[in-house]
Chain A
Amino acid sequence: NAGVMQNPRHLVRRRGQEARLRCSPMKGHSHVYWYRQLPEEGLKFMVYLQKENIIDESGMPKERFSAEFPKEGPSILRIQQVVRGDSAAYFCASSPSLVPGQEQYFGPGTRLTVT
């Protein structure tokens, strides 16, 4: 059973470009979460999605950031007009359901560098 897959593993963008980060959850998992880890900081929640629905986007910056989890295909985190402060590791996690204490399994992350 393959784990959570993320691609690309490393992404370099110049200021003003768009970044697209992809996440394929574990087989059988319908809940996807995105987290961001800035240098020297812990992981911060960004958004929680189920298929075709955004459930909680309370951690997502209001501008330039968007996320989707379509009926078919991977979840996408999109960052428009990237700035240097967006440089970070972005992690996707998945879980099979939402019950108290449900465990989340993380992918290897995408390291975004904005030059």
Chain B
Amino acid sequence: TQLLEQSPQFLSIQEGENLTVYCNSSSVFSSLQWYRQEPGEGPVLLVTVVTGGEVKKLKRLTFQFGDARKDSSLHITAAQPGDTGLYLCAGHGSGNTGKLIFGQGTTLQVKP
């Protein structure tokens, strides 16, 4: 069974601090996606990483896919209150059936 484990589960920081969220697995994933979800809404896709070692930047967010495609990280520089939310990593299950396997999520609170 493919599993994705995210850490930390909860993170509360002050505005301006940096943070990193980790998404780890013992399985290889063909790609990983990062989503952000706000209360009462659906997940919104932030980025997809496909190639081992790939790094993608989205303004103050930096996403990295591990060389072995078993792990990924999300780094936020100079966090702002608007970054508050639930961050989810997800990978496509084996067999190319289309289903996404999600991590448990990281709840981020950025205090002004």
Once the chains are docked, how many angstroms separate the CA of A42 from the CA of B104?
A: 5
Interface residues of B: mostly helix, strand, loop or mixed? loop
Chain A hits for B111, CB < 8 A: none
Chain A hits for B40, CB < 8 A: 108-109, 111
Taking CB atoms and an 8 Å cut-off, the chain A residues in 91-109 that contact chain B are 91, 93, 95, 98, 100-109
B41 contacts A108, C-beta separation under 8 Å: yes
A45 contacts B96, C-beta separation under 8 Å: no
B98 contacts A33, C-beta separation under 8 Å: yes
* Selected interface stretch from B14-22, B43-51, B74-82: B43-51
Q: By the criterion of a CB under 8 Å from any partner CB, how many residues of chain A are at the interface? A: 30
Task: Please judge, given known A-B contacts A101-B31, A101-B48, A103-B33, whether A91 and B42 are in contact too, CB under 8 Å.
Answer: yes
| Shortest beta-carbon distance from A65 to chain B in Å | 16
Q: Tell me which of A41, A43, A55, A100 contacts B92 (CB under 8 A).
A: A100
Q: Tell me which of A4, A43, A105 contacts B102 (CB under 8 A).
A: A43
Which A residue sits closest to B6, measured CB to CB? A42
Pairs A-B, 8 closest by C-beta atoms: A101-B31, A106-B42, A45-B99, A56-B97, A43-B102, A42-B102, A42-B104, A101-B50
List residues of chain B with CB under 8 Å of any chain A CB.
30-31, 33, 35, 40-45, 48, 50, 88, 90, 92-93, 96-105
